[in-house]
Structure 1
Amino acid sequence: MFGYRVPAPDQAMLISGGKSRNPNTPFRVVTGHGKFVMPVFRKVRFLTLAMCEAEVAEACVTKQGIALNVRAVIAFKVGNDDESIVNAAQRFLSDQDQMSILTGRIFAGHLRSIVGSMTVEEIVTERQKLATEVLDGSKEEMAKIGLSVDSLQIQSIDDMKLGYIAAMAAPHNAAIQRQAQIAQAQANQVAAEAEQESKRKQAEYTRQTSIVQAQYKAEVDRAQAVAAQAGPLAEAQAQREVIDAQTELAQREAQLRQQQLVAEVIKPAEAEAERVRVLAQADAEKMKVQAEAAASNNRVALDRMLIDQLPQIVKEAARGLSGANVNILNGADGLGEMAAGLVGQGMAILDSVKKGIAPADVPREPREAVEK
C-alpha cells in the first residue's frame, strides 16, 4: 500500500518528522510491525538489530612487564529497547559499519588495562576471568552508545617468541609426558598380560581340543573294533545255535528210537514171556482141576470136556493179547496183572458154564467132598 512501511525482523524503523509521542526521542521507533508514513511529511530510515562481530588483536604488557599479543572476538548488537535504538541511531545510522570499529577500540583499551593488572600465569590459566573483567569494564561504556555485548572470547595469547609461556609450560609438559609414559608403560604391560593370557587360553584350548580329539578317536577305534568282531561273533553264535538245534534233534531222535525199540522189541518180548507164563499157569490149573475131578467120582463128562477146553480158551486170549497194540503200565508187573485177569475170567466162564448146562438128574456132591 502506498505510504505503508514495514521493517524487517532484525531492523528498527525510524520515522522522523512531525511530533514524537516521547519527548526524549527525536523520532519515532517502530519494531515488529508496520506503520503508515505520509510521504513528503515523514522520513523513514532503518537501523540494523542483527548480531555484529568485532576482532581485537592488541599488544599488552602484563604486571610482570612481559609483552603479550592477545587476540579476542566480541559479539555485540544494538539493544532491543527504544533508548538503546535511539542512542545507536544517533551515532551510527549514517555509517553503521562504525559500530564494529568503535567496539574494537573500546575493548582494546579495556583489554590492555585488565592484562596490565594480571600476571602471565593468571592470564594463561584464567582466560575466562580475563574475559569477564573486560566485559564488566566495557559494559557501561557500550550501553552509552546503545550496544550490548553478547560474548567475548579470548582466542590466543602469544609472548611473541620470548619463550616465557613455553618455559612456564615446560614442567607441566614434563609431568604430562611422564604421566603419558607411565600410562603408556601400564598400557603396554596390560597389553602384554592380555597377550600372555590370550596365548595361555589358546594353549589350553588346543590342549582340550587334542584331548577331546583323542577321546573321539579312541571311541571310533573301539566302535570299529566292535564292528569288526561283530561278524565273527554273529557267525559263532549262529553255529552254536545250529549245534544246539542239532543236539536237541539228536536227543529227540534217540528218545523216539528208544520208544520204537520199547514198542517193537521189548514189549513184544515181555508179552510173549507173559503169554508163556499164563499158559504155564493154565496148564497148572488144568492139572489141578483134573486132580479135583479125579478125586470126585461124580464129575460128568461135560466137566472134563470143559476142563480140556480151558487151556485153549486162555491160549486164544493170550494170542489176542500178543497181537494187540496195548500200552502196558508198570512193565512186566502190569502185564502179569492183565494175564491173571484173563485166567480169572476164564475160570469164571468155566464155572458159569458148569452151573448153567449141568443135567438136572445128576446129583452133585457137596463141595467139601471135592475139596477133600
Structure 2
Amino acid sequence: MLPVNAGFWVIVGLIVLGTFTILSLMAKLYRKVGPNQALIVYGLGGTRVFSGRGALVWPMVQSARELSLELMSFDVAPQQDLYTKQGVGVTVEAVAQIKVKSDHESILTAAEQFLSKSPEEREGLIRLVMEGHLRGIVGQLTVESIVKDPETISQSMRNTCAEDLNKMGLDIVSFTIREIRDKNEYIVNMGKPDIARIKKDADIAAAEALRDTEVKRAAAMRDAAVAKAMADQERVTAETASLAKQAEAQRDLDVKRADYETVVKKQKAQADKSYDIETQVQQQRVVAESVRVLRVEKEEQIKVQEAGSSRREKELAATVLKPAEAERRRIETLAEAEKARLVREAEGHAEAARTEGAAGADVIRLRGTAEAEIILAKGQSEAEAMKVKAAAFHEYNQAAVLDKLLTGMPEMVRAMAEPLSKVDRITIVSTGDGHGAGASKI
C-alpha cells in the first residue's frame, strides 16, 4: 500500500514542477511595455507594434526592441551666427520639445529612422534639421522683429519643421526662443532710444507722481487743518454750550434756592404773622369780651332807662295821646256822618235833576262841594290831632334827650379822658409871639 502512495506523490510533484517550469519560460518570453514606450516585434509574422501592453516573443524566430515615446527636450543653439535680413549677425538660443507620434504608422516610421540609434544620436539628427530651418527663418526677419516678436520665429519653426519631422514620425510640441544676442551691441543700442524715452517717461511720471503726491499731501494737510479747525470750533462750541448749560443749571439752582428761601421766609413770616395775628385776635377777644361786658352793663342800664322812659311814655299816652286820639276819632266820625248826609242829599238832588232833566250840573257841583267840605273837615281834624300829638312828642323828646344825656355823661367823660391817661408827660413850648402859654391852654 505504501509504494503505491509514494508513486502518486512523485507524479504529482513532477506535474507541479513541469507546470512551474513552463510558466517561468512563458514569463521570460512575454515582453510588456508601459504607455510611454512602444514594443517593436519583428520576425515571424512581420513587424508589429505594441504600446502600453505586452506580447510573446518567441526566441530564434522573433526579436523585439523598445522605442521611447517620451518627450525629448534639447537646445537648439547654432555655433555660428545667424544673419538677419539686415545682414546683422545674431546668436539665437532656443529650446525644442519633440516626441514620437502615438499612431501606429508614425511609430513604425520613427522605428525605421531611430530604432537602432541612441538617444544622443537621435537628438543630434533632429537638432541639425531644426538649426537649418532656424537659419532660414532668421534670414527673412529683421533684428527688431526678432527681438520684439520672438513668437513669430516659434510659430514659423513649428510650421516649417512640421513636414520634415512628420517624415520622421515626430511631432514638434513647442519651440521657444531663450536668448537673442549679438557681438556688435546692435540689440543694446537698439533699445537705448526706447530706454531713454522710457527713462524720460519714468522721470516725468515720477515728477508727476511727486507733484501729485505733494498736491495730495498739501490737500491732505489743508483738509487736516480744516478738520482740526472745525474740530477746535466744535470743541469750543461744545465747551461754550457746556459752560452755558452749567450757567443755566447754576442759575436755575440759584433761582430755586431763592424760591425756596422765599417760600421759607414767607412761611416763617406767615407763621410770625399768624402768631401776631393770633395774639391780636386773643387780645381783641379779650377787648371784645371786655366790651361785651361793658355792653351788657350798658344794656342793663339802658333797659332800666327804657323802663323809666316807657313808664313816662305810658303816662304821657294816658294823659295826652289817648284824649287826642279820641278827639281825632270823634272828628272823623262827625266828618263821615256829614259826608254821608251830604252824599244822600246830593243823590236826592241828582235824582230830582235826572227826573226833571235839568239838574245834572247842580248834582255834580253839590257832590264836589260836599266832598271838598268833607276833605277839609277831615284835614282840619287830622291837623288838630297831629298838633296835639306833636306837642306830646315834643314834650317827650325833650325829656328823653335830657335823660339820655345825663345817663351817657359818665361814658363820654371816660372816653374823652382815656387818651389823656396814656400820656406820660406834656411839654409846653412857647413860640414867642406874645401870646401866653401854660397849662390853661391845654
Same fold (TM > 0.5) = yes
Match of 1:124 in 2: 147
* 1:82 to 1:270, Cα distance in 2 relative to 1, 3 A: same
1:9 aligns with 2:56: no
- Aligned to 2:116, the other structure's residue is in SS state coil
Match of 2:89 in 1: 67
- Whole-angstrom distance in 1 between the partners of 2:253 and 2:109: 117
Measured against aligned partners, the alpha-carbon deviations of 1:73-107 in whole angstroms (never above 9, x if no partner) come to 11100111122211211222223412211111111
Match of 1:109 in 2: 132
* Mapping for residues 347-366 of structure 1, pairs under 5 Å: none
- Whole-angstrom distance in 1 between the partners of 2:259 and 2:172: 110
- Whole-angstrom distance in 2 between the partners of 1:216 and 1:210: 9
In the TM superposition, what is the alpha-carbon distance from 1:290 to its structure 2 partner? Answer: 5.2
Match of 1:367 in 2: none
* Mapping for residues 164-203 of structure 1, pairs under 5 Å: 164-203=186-225
Match of 2:270 in 1: 248
- Whole-angstrom distance in 2 between the partners of 1:282 and 1:88: 180
Residue correspondences, number: 289
Match of 2:436 in 1: none
In the TM superposition, what is the alpha-carbon distance from 1:230 to its structure 2 partner? Answer: 7.1
- Aligned to 1:54, the other structure's residue is in SS state strand
Measured against aligned partners, the alpha-carbon deviations of 1:60-81 in whole angstroms (never above 9, x if no partner) come to 0112211111111111001111
1:273 aligns with 2:298: yes
Which amino acid in structure 1 is aligned with residue 306 of structure 2? Q
1:84 aligns with 2:84: no
- Whole-angstrom distance in 2 between the partners of 1:66 and 1:127: 16
- Whole-angstrom distance in 2 between the partners of 1:4 and 1:267: 163
- Whole-angstrom distance in 2 between the partners of 1:88 and 1:163: 43
Match of 1:135 in 2: 158
- Whole-angstrom distance in 1 between the partners of 2:37 and 2:297: 160
Higher helix share: 2
- Whole-angstrom distance in 2 between the partners of 1:4 and 1:271: 168
**Counterpart pick for 2:77 among 31, 52, 57:** 57
* 1:239 to 1:271, Cα distance in 2 relative to 1, 3 A: farther
- Aligned to 2:160, the other structure's residue is in SS state helix
Which amino acid in structure 2 is aligned with residue 69 of structure 1? T
* 1:279 to 1:96, Cα distance in 2 relative to 1, 3 A: farther
In the TM superposition, what is the alpha-carbon distance from 1:46 to its structure 2 partner? Answer: 1.0
1:157 aligns with 2:177: no
In the TM superposition, what is the alpha-carbon distance from 1:278 to its structure 2 partner? Answer: 2.9
- Contact 1:54–1:103 (CA under 8 A) maintained in structure 2: no
- Whole-angstrom distance in 2 between the partners of 1:218 and 1:177: 59
Match of 2:307 in 1: 282
In the TM superposition, what is the alpha-carbon distance from 1:133 to its structure 2 partner? Answer: 1.9
Q: Which has the larger radius of gyration?
A: 2
* 1:244 to 1:210, Cα distance in 2 relative to 1, 3 A: same
* 1:193 to 1:265, Cα distance in 2 relative to 1, 3 A: farther
Segments of 5+ residues of structure 2 without an aligned counterpart are: 1-25, 323-442
- Whole-angstrom distance in 1 between the partners of 2:298 and 2:272: 32
In the TM superposition, what is the alpha-carbon distance from 1:13 to its structure 2 partner? Answer: 0.9
Percentage of pairs with the same residue: 29
- Aligned to 1:276, the other structure's residue is in SS state helix
Which amino acid in structure 1 is aligned with residue 146 of structure 2? I
- Whole-angstrom distance in 2 between the partners of 1:120 and 1:128: 13
Segments of 5+ residues of structure 1 without an aligned counterpart are: 21-26, 297-372
- Contact 1:139–1:148 (CA under 8 A) maintained in structure 2: yes
**Counterpart pick for 1:214 among 236, 242, 258:** 236
TM-score scaled by length of structure 2: 0.59
Match of 1:34 in 2: 54
- Whole-angstrom distance in 1 between the partners of 2:189 and 2:305: 161
In the TM superposition, what is the alpha-carbon distance from 1:129 to its structure 2 partner? Answer: 1.7
- Whole-angstrom distance in 2 between the partners of 1:291 and 1:277: 20
Question: What root-mean-square deviation, in Å, do the aligned CA atoms of Structure 1 and Structure 2 show?
Answer: 2.7
- Whole-angstrom distance in 2 between the partners of 1:148 and 1:45: 21
Measured against aligned partners, the alpha-carbon deviations of 1:92-128 in whole angstroms (never above 9, x if no partner) come to 2223412211111111111111111222222222322
- Whole-angstrom distance in 1 between the partners of 2:62 and 2:202: 72
* Mapping for residues 305-316 of structure 1, pairs under 5 Å: none
- Aligned to 2:58, the other structure's residue is in SS state coil
- Contact 1:12–1:29 (CA under 8 A) maintained in structure 2: yes
- Whole-angstrom distance in 2 between the partners of 1:64 and 1:264: 153
- Whole-angstrom distance in 2 between the partners of 1:294 and 1:65: 189
Q: Which has the higher contact order (CA 8 A, sep 6+)?
A: 1
In the TM superposition, what is the alpha-carbon distance from 1:216 to its structure 2 partner? Answer: 3.5
Moved more, 38-47 or 64-73: 38-47
* Mapping for residues 287-366 of structure 1, pairs under 5 Å: 287-289=312-314
Which amino acid in structure 1 is aligned with residue 178 of structure 2? Q
- Aligned to 1:29, the other structure's residue is in SS state strand
In the TM superposition, what is the alpha-carbon distance from 1:238 to its structure 2 partner? Answer: 3.8
In the TM superposition, what is the alpha-carbon distance from 1:5 to its structure 2 partner? Answer: 2.6
- Whole-angstrom distance in 2 between the partners of 1:64 and 1:120: 8
In the TM superposition, what is the alpha-carbon distance from 1:53 to its structure 2 partner? Answer: 1.0
- Contact 1:49–1:79 (CA under 8 A) maintained in structure 2: yes
